[in-house]
Structure 1
Amino acid sequence: LRNYTGLQAKQLAPVKFGDYVAKPFSQGTGTSKLPGGFTPTERFVRAAYLKENVVPAKNEEEAITNIWYILNSVRIPNGAVIKDNGEPDFTQYVASMCSESKTYYFTSYENNQINSVTLTDEVLENTKEPTTYVVDTVQNIKQLI
């Protein structure tokens, strides 16, 4: 992270070169040095930056939305990274847990719909057999028209 101390959510300030004032040309200039690759280090820096700069959530739903934006910024699409053995390395699922509500949230690679399971007392007491949940493996697209 010490290599990225210049990252900021605010726009870069104009810089004077002699009589010429170079003004930043668009939004997001404070993040122009944010790494965009898929190495663990680059993904960590992106996640750390976003975690520190996202608008704080007021409730669990907003928190999950924030977490999903952060985690989506570091997901690896299938085929973007190929391992030495020729197989793709990709993010197979995204998951997060709210320790207050005991709710586990997740999505699969195939379906961006956020699923959740709340670990109620009933669920936690049923520890004799594993519980299986059916999750759609087809993208859930809501047709509006």
Structure 2
Amino acid sequence: MKHFASIILALSLALPTHAQVGFRWCLYGFNHSDSYEPIEAQLEELAEFIKSYPDDLFEISGHLDERASDKYSIKFDKERADYIRGLLIDKYGIPGSMLISVGKGKHEPYIKGAKTEAEHELNRRVEIRIIRKE
């Protein structure tokens, strides 16, 4: 997960207008909407990257593992995205107008048909995509 903003930057330089590139690893413990990983350094790097693209939009999407009920999904997937969005706004000064947070629930797993706890953990994540504007 180290240096993900650098990876996004390298990929985005080659992207055409309206292209999307993503970052996928902000993992969560079961039944939590706050990240348990030490993500501060990564968020700082991401914030600097976002600031260098003030005309673009960034979508922050929260995901759950496939065991989650639909009722549960409504609560935690969006909360996870909102948590990261809030940190980027409050701690790093990113304008809220550049960030959209959405909940995707369990419907877009990273590992379909996950069996082990480690696989389920990979499905509990936040993804950040750049939506390039013209």
On whether the aligned pair clears a TM of 0.5, the verdict is no
Q: Return the structure number with greater relative CO, CA threshold 8 A, min gap 6.
A: 2
Bigger radius of gyration: 1
